[in-house]
Amino acid sequence: MELKVTTLEGKDAGSVTLNEAIFGLDPRKDIIQRCVNWQLAKRQAGTHKVKDRGEIARTGKKMYRQKGTGGARHGSARVPQFRGGGRAFGPVVRSHAFDLPKKVRALALRHALSAKAKAGGLIVIDNASVAEAKTKVLAGHFSTLKITSALIVDGAELNEGFAIAARNLPHIDVLPIQGLNVYDILRRDQLVLTRAAIDALEARFK
């Protein structure tokens, strides 16, 4: 698969041949969904918590005698059926994370990249760097390239000026190649890769 390469200013910068094993797969939604669920479950805080009957600050003495009152039998006032009592089977602090094999995660990333390429949402730029860290200047470049909602992925290190200029733009995310993930690829309409990012991807999946 061959794709044109442009500069941020919209000028032609040649072309690049994309690896079919990374960008030319027939996307499988089930594999991508498994990886997205794994990512979202892993980052869920799991800090929801309620008090059970053992944590309620209330006496555990039997409320009244067992027989002869004409009412129901009750013991502790900390039980769930009373106002102010503990919650039965409520949420507790826990991790929502589950395991997903590394090979499945790698396959899901390739399917996500292929899905973006197949949908025409893949853009390749020469490099992601600007002379001055100005949001207005970078917004003008994105307007020229018709980039409105995009994940921009560079090489191992981000250009500091580019990252600063892009952080105030809505619907624009900038990541180094190490941070590339399935969820962030799918949540934006376009995927913008630099030459360095493509080289790193091909080395990673070699």
Is the Cβ–Cβ distance between 185 and 111 less than 8 Å? no
Residue 13's pLDDT is: 87
Residues of the chain where predicted confidence (pLDDT) is lower than 50: none
Which residues does 72 contact at the CB level (< 8 Å), separation at least 6?
none
Residue 132's pLDDT is: 86
Is the Cβ–Cβ distance between 165 and 8 less than 8 Å? no
Q: Other C-beta atoms within 10 Å of 6: how many?
A: 17
1-24 pLDDT, tens per residue? Answer: 888 999 988 888 899 999 999 999
Residue 60's pLDDT is: 87
Dist CA 45 CA 95 (whole Å): 7
Residue 103's pLDDT is: 96
Q: Where are the domains of the chain?
A: 2-45+97-204, 50-90
Q: Look at domain 2-45+97-204 and name its CATH class.
A: alpha beta
What is this structure's pTM?
0.84
Sheet holding 122-125, edge to edge: 12-17, 2-6, 122-125, 190-194, 150-153, 172-175
